[in-house]
Amino acid sequence: MDVYGLIGNPVKHSLSPPMHEAAYDELGLDARYVTFEPQPDEGVQAIESAATLGVRGVNVTVPFKQDVLAAVEPTAVARRIGAVNTVDLSSDPPQGHNTDAPGLRRALEHHGVALTGRAVVVGAGGAGRAAAFALADEGMTVDVANRTVERATSLAKDVTESDTPGSATGASLDSLSTVLADADVLVNATTVGMDEDRSPVPANALHDGLAVLDAVYSPVSTRLLRDADSAGATTVDGLWMLLYQGVEAFEFWTGQDAPLETMNSALRARVDFS
């Protein structure tokens, strides 16, 4: 049997096990997906131990996405984002991917969102970095707005100095209304809205013609997405990004096309949409 898993802390409520196991069952693969919860300073050790035990691949989540860079050979995408969320342990050294970036891009494309023009990314942590690079790679001009402005400026500099066709500028949250006025795509990559009824973006800054993806998926229907819907914007919930980052990981590990509908149903069956 092939074993895959998730390394994070906490991981108890993760939606990844049912999503991946539904795919194995659908394709008749002799595989299981389990969770590992090492102490916060044990990320590298956890990767090494999993490799020793013959685990074929792991996803990596908070707080280990940056730390595990030291235990893997990162792809170019993972290196410039500075975070790894998928590790292929069947190669030596293990290969570290970042599937949050293609996951975000594919979630937007699934909803027919054209990745051209201007984008606003709110947040400059791991998800914000993945979003900014993913959108700049499509040639978009990206405004990164973050509570800590220095992080936004630093991310924007990394994007602009990379070989991506797009470019980025750092800004404070105060400038959101201004930068959103002529934006085509908005991504919330902060934790604001997670398990709370708050939005990081003023409702009156949202408009039709905008596509809004909220990386937060708990709750699925966030305040931001409800505000965006009321403003006539296209909305994409965080489960779509979660789905597609999982699809990418599944395909790296197994070399097979992921059963998208099965994985999507397994995810959505386990969340409360109320």
Binding footprint of ligand NAP on the chain (CB under 6 A): 62, 100, 103, 123-128, 146-148, 151, 189-192, 194, 200, 215-217, 238, 241-242, 245
Q: Which is nearer to ligand NAP, 51 or 104 (CB)?
A: 104
Query: What is the pairing mode between strands 86-88 and 95-97?
Result: antiparallel
From the CB of 129, what's the least distance to ligand NAP, in Å? 8
Q: Which two tokens stand for residue 88?
A: 């292929």
From the CB of 218, what's the least distance to ligand NAP, in Å? 7
- ∠ CA(20), CA(24), CA(264), 5° rounding? 45
d(CA 223, CA 149) in angstroms, rounded, equals 24
d(CA 235, CA 65) in angstroms, rounded, equals 27
From the CB of 256, what's the least distance to ligand NAP, in Å? 21
**Helices 238-254 + 100-110 axis angle, to 10:** 120
Q: Which is nearer to ligand NAP, 51 or 57 (CB)?
A: 57
d(CA 20, CA 156) in angstroms, rounded, equals 34
DSSP helix/strand/coil, 65 = coil
Sheet with 73-74, strands from edge to edge, namely: 31-36, 2-7, 57-60, 86-88, 95-97, 73-74
Q: Which is nearer to ligand NAP, 50 or 247 (CB)?
A: 247
DSSP 94: P
Query: What is the pairing mode between strands 57-60 and 86-88?
Result: antiparallel
Q: End-to-end alpha-carbon separation of the chain, Å? A: 38
Q: Which is nearer to ligand NAP, 51 or 84 (CB)?
A: 84
Strand partners, 73: 95
Residue sitting closest to ligand NAP (CB): 125
Q: Which of 38, 46, 65, 94 is catalytic?
A: 65
From the CB of 1, what's the least distance to ligand NAP, in Å? 27
12 is catalytic: no
d(CA 2, CA 215) in angstroms, rounded, equals 30
CB atoms inside a 10 Å sphere around CB 48: 14
From the CB of 7, what's the least distance to ligand NAP, in Å? 14
From the CB of 173, what's the least distance to ligand NAP, in Å? 6
Cα-flanking dihedrals φ and ψ of residue 198, to 5°?
Answer: -135, 150
Q: Which is nearer to ligand NAP, 113 or 192 (CB)?
A: 192
Q: Which is nearer to ligand NAP, 51 or 78 (CB)?
A: 78
- Hey, which residues are catalytic here? 65
